[in-house]
A and B are shown apart, each in its own frame.
Chain A
């Protein structure tokens, strides 16, 4: 135990959504006093593979969510062994569903995955007024903010949030990503947002791009 093959097997088990195998392997590696960060990196590699399979439509949201659940279970066992320097998240992201809209399905999925990838997420919830987005960006110093909406009636609110970010001089310090079934690349351009996340995996890619990193675990 504890060689490259074990780490590869751990990655593979997560990619194949074998919950029991992931938990058993990560526990065994910990008991052999392997570097916990290496275990986490193997899990992250497994998540990468899950993301690839999702992109290729082999997997759907059910697999993404399950992978996130397995990852979090494994992390719960590993976290106490991580060094402080290992656990500092290097990306802070503010997320919320805009005012007038209480849909949170897509938002919650992307938040779960962002956390799996090591990002620190401030979840403002649903029906979030523009002032709350701005206040949270200001207080947290987040470099990325995500807005979600499902209703055509709430699309203008996204534009409003960006306008207020402009008015308060915060627009230069934060990049804005939008998502939700009715949003699009065309709409992103209309409201001058920085990114349109078609799905959760695209959202992860955007976060990695903004924080200029490959792994955030």
Chain B
């Protein structure tokens, strides 16, 4: 099996020759190849060179295109002020965000009545006063063209590109960043109707953008960020009424368009895992970051969707090669049994991960990962 066939098989729940390996790569590629993180985030040529070199060196089946470290996407897609390494932060660290609450309650109405682009530009212009709508749209089109070319390049080297678009999440994930987490959470109680109406418009248009982008770049997987929608932040009551319907809308819409949703779950989702059984069988990837109980995920969803994860960031950053090998072997033995498992890092590879620890993941799969 080649990498592409392996990924297709694992997502479809078919038997495959070996567990696929696909760590979530972003800033670490810069450190690995020895370029400034700033360059990785801003320069498409240097970024793809770093991604290709890293994914090849560690013999990955699938790699992210450092999508979650692209300055343009972060500025347009995340409603918080981006702090850049090398400018606002030390040169060799990951970016961070200043969440000052750039969205007001009335902006829910704006989103509902005028749609996503006018809404986004209202928020973006508050965060980055010099950024115009024309520039943002031009930059986005350029990035998608770059991703299209980069995807082709990776496939020509036998590596599958991971995702063709990043959906920031259900609207609540976006709103809680834009409003600030406290205000976002309070809005669930104080302005639920406004949130729901605005959220509906947000999801409809976001899904349209995702499907359109994938049609161009032909990378038929879409990342759905699930962070503040988690049981850590919201109780079942709000999840069921405000959030789950939106995730379901994305999932079904993407699947209808022939796209695999990659549900990227930050923090502990164990409590909400049973809800995921309602999604169509063997059409999704559930990506876990080390905080969700992955054994429970296997028990509940192991015959329903592919599970991806979850070598913890603290382990790759501070642990030993032997500890990583042992952790990976545990995953391969327990989560990899009967297929449906992609070995990956828990969220992104941390910027200070040790090379030998990332290589240990490769060694583990190549040694123990064969069926």
Contact = CB atoms under 8 A, between A and B. Distances in A.
A184 B314 contact: yes
A66 B93 contact: no
A57 B98 CA distance: 29
Contact of B317 (A17, A103, A108, A152): A152
Contacts of B234: 60-62
B189 interface: yes
A102 B351 contact: no
B271 A57 contact: yes
Interface in A87-138: 100-103, 105, 108-109
Contact of A102 (B98, B186, B291): B98
Given A100-B90, A152-B313, A152-B317, A59 B96 contact: no
B302 interface: no
A151 interface: yes
B63 interface: no
A65 B185 contact: yes
Contact of B186 (A60, A66, A101, A109): A66
Contacts of B186: 65-66, 69
A100 to B, nearest CB: 7
Nearest to A19: B189
Interface residues of B, number: 31
B318 to A, nearest CB: 7
B317 A101 contact: no
B217 interface: no
Given A65-B186, A66-B185, A181 B94 contact: no
A153 interface: yes
A186 to B, nearest CB: 9
A162 to B, nearest CB: 17
A49 interface: no
Interface in B93-109: 93-94, 96-99
A57 B239 CA distance: 13
Contacts of A57: 231, 271
A41 to B, nearest CB: 26
A42 B290 CA distance: 39
B185 A102 contact: no
B317 A61 contact: no
A152 B314 contact: yes
A6 interface: no
B290 to A, nearest CB: 10
Interface string A44-74: 0000000000000111111101100100000
A100 B231 CA distance: 28
B350 A153 contact: yes
B94 A151 contact: yes
Interface of A: 17, 57-63, 65-66, 69, 100-103, 105, 108-109, 151-153, 155, 181-182, 184, 187
Interface of B: 83, 89-90, 93-94, 96-99, 181-182, 185-186, 188-189, 231-235, 238, 267, 271, 291, 313-314, 317-318, 350-352
27 contacts: A58-B235, A59-B235, A60-B233, A60-B234, A61-B185, A61-B233, A62-B188, A65-B185, A66-B185, A66-B189, A69-B182, A69-B186, A100-B90, A100-B93, A101-B96, A102-B83, A102-B98, A103-B96, A108-B182, A151-B93, A152-B318, A152-B350, A153-B94, A153-B350, A153-B351, A153-B352, A187-B314
Which 6 pairs across A and B sit closest by C-beta, in order of nearness? A152-B317, A62-B185, A152-B350, A60-B235, A61-B233, A102-B96
